[in-house]
Amino acid sequence: MKKILSVVGARPNFMKVAPLHRAFEQYKGPVSHQMVHTGQHYDRAMSKVFFEDLELPQPDFYLGVGSGTHAEQTAKVMVEFEKVLVEQKPDLVIVVGDVNSTVACSLVAVKLGVPVAHVEAGLRSFDRTMPEEINRLVTDAIADFLFVSEPSGVRNLRSEGVPEEKIFFVGNVMIDSLISYREKARRSVIRKDLGLGGAPYMLVTLHRPSNVDDKQSLSRILAAFERLANRTAIVFPIHPRTRKMLGEFGLMDRANAISSLKLLEPLGYLDFLSLMEQAQLVLTDSGGIQEETTYLGVPCLTLRKNTERPVTVEVGTNLLCGDDLGVGVEQSLAILGGRKKAGIVPDLWDGKAAQRIAEIVISKLYS
C-alpha cells in the first residue's frame, strides 16, 4: 500500500483537498490518504466550519503553528511537518495552492527525499511583492508532479524550463468542490438571515496585504463603499487580517456608519457559495473567488493590478480594476446598471479534476 499525505493550512486549501480526499478514498487498498493540517488558520470560522461544510474527516495530524511573521510561520510549519514525515514515511506529499504552508511542506518533503505533487501549479502574477508568488515559484521549482488548472500554468512552467513529463493539465479542483456543493449551498438561509430577501446586493472580500495593511488604501475602499451605498446593499464578510487593520487604523466607526454595508464575520463554505451565486457583483482580491465567479457566470471585479489566473479575464467574467477605486466604482455602477461581461467556463473545469489527479498519481506511484 502506498501512503499519501495531503497538506492543508489556510482557508483556501480546504475546498481543494476535499475532492482529492474523496477521489483517493475510491482507491482505498492500493493507497491510504491522510491529511495534515498545519494550523496556519485556526479560528473556527477560518478552518473548522470548512471541515463540516465539506464533510471532511478530522485531519490525521494537526501541527498547531498559528500566526506569525512569514519566517516564523514558515519555519514552525517546517519543524513540525518534518517530525510527521520522519515518522510516517509517506510515498508522496500533496500540497495545494500558494500559502506559506504550501511552500514550507514542499521544502521539508523534498529534502527528505519524498516526492511532492503541487496542485494548482504554474500560476504566475509576475509580481514578486506578493508573498504567494514567491510561494508558487519555489514550490513549482522543487515539486515532482505539477498539476495545472488553466492553460497559462502550462505556458509558464514550459517557459521556466520545467520538463514536459512533470506537467499535467488536469483542471480545477476548487471547481470540483463548487460543483459538488452547489445544490446544498442553495439550501442555505443566509440571505434570509441577513434580511436581504430577494434584494440585489454586492458581495465583497478583501484581505491582501497590499489592500488592507495600508491606511490610505483601506480608507479609499471605504470611500468607494460610501459612493456605492445608495445603489446597492454591500455584504462584506471580513477576514481577521482586515478586521484587525480596520481597528488599528481607527476606521471601524466609519465602516459601521455606512448604512447599507453589512459587516459580517467570515462565512462558511456553503453560506459564501450561496451568497456568491446570487450576487449581482462580487468585488474581491482573492484568487479562488475569481475562478468561482467565472464558473458561476457572476460578474467579478478584482481589486488588483494583476492576476495569476488570467483565464478568468480572458474567457470568464472577471475584470481587473487595478488599485484605482475610482475605476472600480465606475465599473461597479456599470455592472449594477446591467452592463455585464459575458463569460464561458474554462476547459476542464468540469468537476473531475481530482479524479484525473488521483489516476495519474496512482499510475506514477505504481509504475
Separation of alpha carbons 25 and 349, rounded Å: 21
User: Over the range 105-130, which residues count as b (16 or more CB within 10 Å of their CB) and which as e?
Assistant: bbbbbbeeebbbbbbbbbbbbeeeeb
Q: Answer yes or no whether residue 43 interacts with ligand UD1 by CB under 6 A.
A: yes
Separation of alpha carbons 52 and 15, rounded Å: 11
Site for ligand UD1 in 214-253 (CB under 6 A): 239-241, 244
Give me the least distance between CB of 306 and ligand UD1, in Å please: 15
Nearer to ligand UD1, 46 or 196 (CB): 46
Interaction pattern, residues 250-289, with ligand UD1; x per rule: CB under 6 A: ----------------------------------------
- Give the count of alpha carbons within 13 A of 230, CB side only: 1
Nearer to ligand UD1, 33 or 207 (CB): 207
> Nearest CA to 241 among 7, 55, 41?
41
Q: Answer yes or no whether residue 10 interacts with ligand UD1 by CB under 6 A.
A: yes
Q: Answer yes or no whether residue 11 interacts with ligand UD1 by CB under 6 A.
A: yes
Nearer to ligand UD1, 40 or 280 (CB): 40
Piece of the chain touching ligand UD1 by CB under 6 A; list 35-43, 215-223, 293-301, 335-343: 35-43
Are 255 and 222 in contact by the 8 Å Cβ rule? The answer is yes
Q: Answer yes or no whether residue 332 interacts with ligand UD1 by CB under 6 A.
A: no
Q: Which of 21, 37, 207, 239 is catalytic?
A: 207
Interaction pattern, residues 100-129, with ligand UD1; x per rule: CB under 6 A: x-----------------------------
Separation of alpha carbons 364 and 266, rounded Å: 39
Give me the least distance between CB of 289 and ligand UD1, in Å please: 10
Q: Tell me the sheet residues that pair with 78.
A: none
Nearer to ligand UD1, 6 or 280 (CB): 6
Nearer to ligand UD1, 74 or 355 (CB): 74
Interaction pattern, residues 46-85, with ligand UD1; x per rule: CB under 6 A: x--------------------x------------------
Are 207 and 239 in contact by the 8 Å Cβ rule? The answer is yes
CB neighbour list of residue 172: distance below 8 Å, 6 or more residues apart: 120, 149, 150, 291, 346, 348, 349, 353
Q: H-type helices in the chain, by residue range? A: 11-25, 48-53, 70-88, 100-111, 131-142, 151-159, 173-186, 190-193, 209-212, 215-228, 240-248, 252-256, 269-278, 288-296, 311-314, 325-336, 353-365
CB neighbour list of residue 328: distance below 8 Å, 6 or more residues apart: 224, 283, 301, 303, 321
Piece of the chain touching ligand UD1 by CB under 6 A; list 42-50, 121-129, 179-187, 320-328: 42-50
Catalytic status, residue 70: no
Interaction pattern, residues 197-216, with ligand UD1; x per rule: CB under 6 A: ----------x---------
Nearer to ligand UD1, 11 or 356 (CB): 11
**Number of chain residues interacting with ligand UD1 (CB under 6 A):** 19
CB neighbour list of residue 54: distance below 8 Å, 6 or more residues apart: 14, 15, 18, 177, 181, 269
Piece of the chain touching ligand UD1 by CB under 6 A; list 19-27, 40-48, 275-283, 298-306: 40-48
Give me the least distance between CB of 360 and ligand UD1, in Å please: 26
Give me the least distance between CB of 66 and ligand UD1, in Å please: 8
Are 96 and 116 in contact by the 8 Å Cβ rule? The answer is no
Are 77 and 63 in contact by the 8 Å Cβ rule? The answer is yes
Residue from 132, 140, 176, 292 binding ligand UD1 (CB under 6 A): 132
| Residue 367 burial class via C-beta count within 10 angstroms: exposed 0-12, middle 13-18, buried 19 and up | exposed
Active-site residue list: 207
Binding site for ligand UD1 (CB under 6 A): 10-12, 40-43, 46, 67, 98-100, 131-132, 207, 239-241, 244
